[in-house]
Chains A and B, each alone.
Chain A
Amino acid sequence: MPAGDTCNFDDADFLGRLRAGDAAAFETMVRATTARLLATARRFLRDDGAARDAVQESFLQAFRALPGFEGSAALGTWLHSILVRNCLMKLRRDRAHPTEQILDGMLPSFARDGHRRNVGPAWRSAPEAAITDEERQLVHERIGRLPEDFRNVILLRDIEELDTRQVAALLEVSESVVKTRLHRAHQALRELLDPSLRKGSL
C-alpha cells in the first residue's frame, strides 16, 4: 500500500489504548487517516457520498475489530485493506448485470497481417524527476475513464501496490485473469494518455 499514512501510531502504547477502546486514541487515528482513506474510496467508487459512507462504515468495522487487532500489519495498512474490501463489495453489489466489460476504442490497432498500421508519435521525453502534480492528476483522471473492471485492477496493483495473488483473492478471479486484465488496462491507459503525452502536446 502507499506509504505516507503511517504517522507513528504503531507503537505499543498507542495500540494498547486503541485496543482498550480509548476514545482519544481512536480520534487521533481517525483524524490522521480519514483524508487519505477518503481519497482512495473516491477513486474506487467515483461518488463522494458513496465514498464517505464507505469510509464511515470501515471505521465502524475497525472500531469493533480493534480489540482483536494483533498488529501483524501496520495500523494504516490494516485500515486501508478494510476500506478497499468495502469499496469492492459495494461495486459488486451495485453491478446489476456483471457483463464482461470491453475497452472499445482503447486498444492498439493492427493491419490485417498483424503489423502496426503506423509508427505513431513519440512521447515527449520523460525527465528523471518525480512525477509532477499535473501528471498525477492527468493519470488519475484517465484511470477514471476506464471501465470498472480495468480501473480496479490498476488501482489495486499500481496505486495500492498489492501483488497479483492478493488482487486475485480480492476480486475472486484467477491470477492469470488479473495479469491479462492488467495488461489490457495498461494498454488502454496508454491509449488514453497518448494525446496528452506525445511530443509537442502542451
Chain B
Amino acid sequence: MTCEALINRFLADYIDGSLSTARKADFRLHLALCRACRRYVASYRRTIRLAREAGGSVPGVESLGEAPAELVEAILQVTRGS
C-alpha cells in the first residue's frame, strides 16, 4: 500500500470501520512503518473531531446573540396579516 492509496482511498473506510480484514492489516502495517502517514491520519482524525465539535451547540449558544429585532418582527407579521 502506498501513502497515496492509504490517504486517498482507504482512510475514510478505515475510520468508519468498513475496511476488509486483510486491507485493515495492510493499512496498519503501513501506518506502523510510515511516520508521514501517522501524522496525516492523526491530523485528519482531529479535523473530523473539530468539525463535529464546532457543530455542537452547548457552549456556543450565548455567542449567537439575540436574533435581529427587525427579522423577528417581519416573521411575526405572518400571524397578523394573512
Contact = CB atoms under 8 A, between A and B. Distances in A.
B36 A119 contact: yes
B63 interface: yes
A4 B71 contact: no
B29 interface: no
Interface in A111-148: 113-116, 118-123, 126, 130-131, 133, 135-136, 139-140, 143
Nearest to A109: B4
A108 B64 CA distance: 34
B35 to A, nearest CB: 5
A38 B69 CA distance: 12
Interface residues of B, number: 47
Contact of B51 (A116, A130, A158): A158
Contacts, number: 146
**Which 6 pairs from chain A and chain B are nearest by CB?**
A114-B2, A4-B57, A159-B55, A34-B67, A116-B36, A158-B51
Interface of B: 2-5, 7-8, 11-12, 34-37, 39-40, 42-44, 46-61, 63-68, 71-72, 74-76, 78-80
Interface of A: 2-5, 21, 23, 26-27, 30-31, 34-36, 38-39, 52, 55-56, 59-60, 63, 108, 110, 113-116, 118-123, 126, 130-131, 133, 135-136, 139-140, 143, 154, 158-161, 179, 182-183, 186-187, 189-190, 193-194, 197
